[in-house]
Chains A and B, each alone.
Chain A
Amino acid sequence: MLATVSSATLLGVDGFPVTVEVHVGQGLPGFTVVGLPDASCREARDRVRAALLTSGFAWPDKRTTVNLAPTSVRKIGSSLDLAIAVGVLVASGQLPADAVAERGFIGELGLDGTLRHVPGALSLVDAVETAEVVVAPGSVFEANLVGRPRVRCAPDLAALVDALTGEAPWPRPPDDPVPPAEPPAPDLADVRGHPLARAALEVAAAGGHHLLMVGPPGSGKTMLAQRLPGLLPDLDDASALEATRVHSAAGLALPGGLVRRPPFRAPHHGTSAVAMVGGGSGRLRPGEISLASGGVLFLDELGEFAPLVLDSLRQPLEEGVIRIARAETRVTLPARFLLVAAMNPCPCGEGVTPAACRCSDRSLDRYRRRVSGPLLDRFDLRLEVLRPDPEQLLRGEAADPSAVVAERVAAARRRAAERGARTNAELPTPVLERVAPLGPEASALVERALRQGRLTARGLRRVWRVALTLADLDGCEGPLRAEHVASAFHLRSDPGFVVGPQAA
């Protein structure tokens, strides 16, 4: 007898509909899964068998074949367990076929028949085309975010069959998880001194400009970076759903439901290229850059990351997505993140202060090579962060709190949105030149810098965009003023380790 059940598998962060066909027929007793299952999917056989038996159902002592269609796509993970179990029940006549029609089944089975949550439930439910979807209680909340199919749940297989046959009502779905009280986010008001770094954070948040902080150990680079997400506005609906899908597919907990606050990811500098951009064998997992999509990717000790890892960031930085291709599959994952990096000026850490560095020329050379020019070029904001002097640290006036700065950022972002771009950093050059021409004084300033070779054509566009963000934050209209351009210049100065010891 044949049964057909709808389910889905995960590819990158997207779900992919799968039809589970189960045939129970004459032949030597046996159980085969065909249709490109991966290892964890093949293991479904043992889980399903144990779950059926412990739930009081019979295991067909006939030839059982499970086909996962379409057969050309690799099926990954345990999300098909439930669909296979239901298929076996139907094919062996323990469940009427019309009970499973127009229903999708997504979930992993425990050996005692419990339904378990699977990573990526959000995308999986979205992929199923049926009007009703049955998931594990732990997945109900994610499934509801999709909004389209009617979501049902059952704690275990026996309860599910009772509900499907109409012998019992559908179990009540669990209440939505209460978001835990968030620990207070680090506030910008805690930062003493660092007036320029604070300004740079504000500009980065307002204009979506990537930020590089160079400074000696203990100067507060990490502390500053951690305060950036607090300045960013909430994610809009589309971005929030996208971020939630990525987090769900990566198996991260979603305590607060939809990811509304911009994520902050700070991978360690030992991170591999695959962990950074995503991929891996089998199911292509989202990497750190996708998890940071919509939020901030903070790379501390930029100079210690493997050059390969850093260079792999260049394409997603330009395109906002990462395309991962393997021989069998290719997926496109979102990777629209704000890159914030921090690094020591040189291996000894003292290279910011002129003539204080104790590094050898060779080690400096090596350090310089690690952070390649093309990557460095993508930072619109490049700033030296110095240890604040004790006067500032002890008696410096407290800065604006994050909430106040966030309001200015939101206002600046609204102005950018009126120009049709999400942020100024993404503003196309022709639009930039039209909406924000350089004022006469600003032109003179730029011309001088170009003549002296302190600025390249590409650098000019970046300085220009930063100047526009500065003007937005100040609420200035019309042609860009010289002071904004001059500030933008300063906020994009070449780090000392690139300039090298100054030659006469």
Chain B
Amino acid sequence: MAALPPEAHVVALARLPRVGPGRLRALLERYGPTEAWRAVVAGTVDPALVVHPGNDDPAAVVRSWQRAAAAIDPAAYWQAHVEAGIGVAVRGSDAFPAPFAADDDPPAVVFWQGDLDHLAGLRAAVVGTRRATRYGLDVAHRLGCDLARAGVAVVSGLALGIDGAAHAGALAAEAAPPVAVVGSGLDRVYPRAHGPLWREVARAGVVLSEYPLGAPAAAWQFPARNRLIAALADVVVVVESQATGGAMGTAMEAARRGVPVLAVPGPVTAASSDGTNQLLFDGCPPARDAADVLVVLGLEAATEGRTAAERRPTPRGDAATVLNEAPWGPVPVEQLVLATGLDLGRVALALDQLEADGWVSRRAGWVERIARPGVRP
């Protein structure tokens, strides 16, 4: 017990149920790590330290901590982190990331996989909805790729949709390292579908979390995760978001911290762009491509031209007619049939050609135009 570093007790405390950064900080400030753990085990924690009680009864929370603590062996739990190669830094220690140390709502402890030095350069958060359209995914992928090429670390949340596309783009660039902040323990890959992406990001960059190993992904942890993304970022780009959602939360957190927020414009008719269009209306600068983001960061635009040269074969015949009628944004094939007046066979054939040439993408009977030739996700 005596040989245990003080971090071990912080890690154990972080594993308790209903412990968020606020309560953990309160515990550590009052008692210090070792004493705090003793108080939890003994059930003698001052209920006043259960901050933001909400619907919780502070006394009941203290009792639930005591029960949960009985099942945790701090020494073994610490050993598990050491063996898994998980980095641990407590607030106030030298290793604690500087962006968090300066924050007004910092985590009490940070866990990471990968190399924390990757936080050294400029960082741009690219965030958005999980239910993205093809347009949003393409833009996120391209932003991630171009920002990484320009030497800016892409910060995101490894979620489905925009987050994943941004990380995939950053990885594809093989330039600046990607940074992920997740809302669960580092051994609890969520969403499962992003397991390979998660490991790639940990290998090439760093995955951060304020939750110890084994902590499941609870719903309240994702807004908390979003504040860390905002705290880390030098600029936040919201690619696609509904009127409410996690990405809008990230934008709010960023705005509160004085971090510039950019939004990618979307069709005014698309629910998937309601949030970003609102941000634009509220005065956020638009992010049309990585160059717009680099300007906000005070960097010069990327050396490549603003748009790559058009290399796709020009559509002819039915394909031209169909592409002409395809609006920006997803459209059902049926609407194209009606708009062009062609029969289904010719439209389907034209779409097949357009898809093969990279003009449109298709999914479940819907068609979406692809704006610019880029790195295909």
Contacts and interface: CB of A to CB of B under 8 A. Distances in A.
B215 interface: no
| Among A481, A503, A504: residue with most chain B CB under 10 A | A504
Contact of A486 (B165, B270, B348, B368): B348
A436 to B, nearest CB: 16
Given A493-B365, A501-B132, A199 B332 contact: no
B277 interface: no
Contacts, number: 106
A448 B351 CA distance: 13
Contacts of B259: none
Contacts of B129: 355
Nearest to B191: A361
Contacts of A498: 364
A169 B131 CA distance: 81
A494 interface: yes
Contacts of A354: 131, 133-134, 272, 330, 363, 366, 368
A194 B338 CA distance: 9
Interface in A472-487: 481-484, 486-487
A4 B302 CA distance: 102
B136 to A, nearest CB: 8
A355 B242 contact: yes
A196 B344 contact: yes
B17 interface: no
Given A195-B337, A493-B365, A502-B134, A486 B349 contact: yes
A370 B271 CA distance: 28
A392 B332 CA distance: 14
A490 B333 contact: yes
A356 interface: yes
Interface string B105-124: 00000000000000000000
Contact of B365 (A361, A389, A490, A501): A490
Contacts of A504: 137, 140-141, 164-165, 168-169, 377
Contacts of A448: 352, 356
A355 B131 contact: yes
Contacts of A357: 131
Nearest to B136: A355
A392 B334 CA distance: 12
A489 B368 CA distance: 17
A502 B270 contact: no
A12 to B, nearest CB: 41
B305 interface: no
B193 A503 contact: yes
Nearest to A448: B356
Contact of A196 (B165, B168, B334, B364): B334
Nearest to B133: A354
> Which of A197, A384, A389 neighbours the largest number of chain B CB atoms within 10 Å of its CB?
A384
B346 interface: yes
A501 B130 contact: yes
A292 interface: no
Contacts of A389: 335
A482 B349 CA distance: 7
A502 B348 contact: no
Contact of A503 (B133, B164, B242): B164
Contacts of A193: 338
A383 interface: yes
Contacts of B169: 504
Nearest to B356: A448
B32 to A, nearest CB: 40
B133 A355 contact: yes
A489 B349 CA distance: 10
A193 B339 CA distance: 12
Interface in A355-395: 355-357, 361, 383-384, 386, 389, 392
A155 interface: no
28 contacts: A195-B344, A196-B334, A199-B344, A352-B332, A355-B129, A355-B131, A355-B133, A355-B272, A361-B191, A384-B332, A386-B332, A389-B335, A445-B352, A481-B345, A483-B345, A483-B346, A484-B345, A486-B345, A486-B351, A487-B344, A489-B348, A489-B352, A490-B348, A490-B365, A493-B365, A494-B364, A501-B132, A504-B377
Interface of B: 129-134, 136-137, 140-141, 160-161, 164-165, 168-169, 191, 193, 240, 242, 270-272, 330, 332-335, 337-338, 344-346, 348-349, 351-352, 356, 362-366, 368, 377
Given A195-B338, A494-B364, A501-B132, 18 more contacts: A193-B338, A194-B334, A195-B337, A354-B272, A354-B363, A355-B129, A355-B132, A356-B272, A384-B366, A483-B345, A484-B345, A493-B362, A493-B364, A496-B366, A501-B161, A503-B160, A504-B137, A504-B164
Q: Which A-B residue pairs are the 8 nearest by beta carbons?
A: A483-B345, A355-B272, A504-B165, A486-B348, A496-B364, A504-B377, A486-B349, A487-B345
